[in-house]
Chain A
Amino acid sequence: DTAVSQTPKYLVTQMGNDKSIKCEQNLGHDTMYWYKQDSKKFLKIMFSYNNKELIINETVPNRFSPKSPDKAHLNLHINSLELGDSAVYFCASSQGGPSEYNEQFFGPGTRLTVL
């Protein structure tokens, strides 16, 4: 079984649309993350959730909203998609809380293309 899974793997959509990317982890981890990797391959953290609480929120547009229905899921909803949102979005998870570092396990990524 895949430890961290994301759906869909590929997403092609028009500007202005609203879309969601789902992430699930079956590792029993406490913290989950969303990263964005742009065309220049720069991987940057967007959000992290621990026990349903947002603990990191980088300066991303408020069109992006993470939603965590339970500890095993952290979905990413994007409103009014823009061309610049085209990137690969990675979900990740780690054991433990925010006050310690533990290895992060990444999902396979969702390649978003906005036309």
Chain B
Amino acid sequence: RKEVEQDPGPFNVPEGATVAFNCTYSNSASQSFFWYRQDCRKEPKLLMSVYSSGNEDGRFTAQLNRASQYISLLIRDSKLSDSATYLCVVNNRDSGAGSYQLTFGKGTKLSVIP
């Protein structure tokens, strides 16, 4: 089983639509969780962290279910500028090295259509 799994998409949605992405992770001891955004031929950028209680940032809502090892991202009122690949990222602690390591999912591609 892959460490972080996402539906690769593409998700093609009209402007104004609500779209949700899901992600599952295999390491039950994972420490923290994030959504990164990567535009075509660009670098990944942090979109938002994901907290157990769920958190919202404008049109974006992230949720975490530790029991099911499941993370979600909801985008409301989609804009053309939301078109990108959304990467689910899990932060695991390497007990041997005592350091943190990010594990990235392959990403879900979103295209918002006029």
Contacts and interface: CB of A to CB of B under 8 A. Distances in A.
A43 B42 CA distance: 13
Interface SS of chain B: helix, strand, loop or mixed?
strand
Interface residues of B, number: 21
Contact of B44 (A43, A48, A50, A55): A43
A56 B106 contact: no
Interface stretch (A70-78, A79-87, A101-109): A101-109
Interface residues of A, number: 21
Interface stretch (B16-24, B58-66, B74-82, B91-99): B91-99
Nearest to B43: A106
Interface string A13-36: 000000000000000000000000
A98 B100 contact: yes
Nearest to A48: B99
A73 to B, nearest CB: 18
Given A55-B99, A56-B97, A99-B98, A108 B42 contact: yes
A42 B32 contact: no
Interface of A: 40-45, 48, 50, 55-56, 90, 98-101, 103-104, 106-109
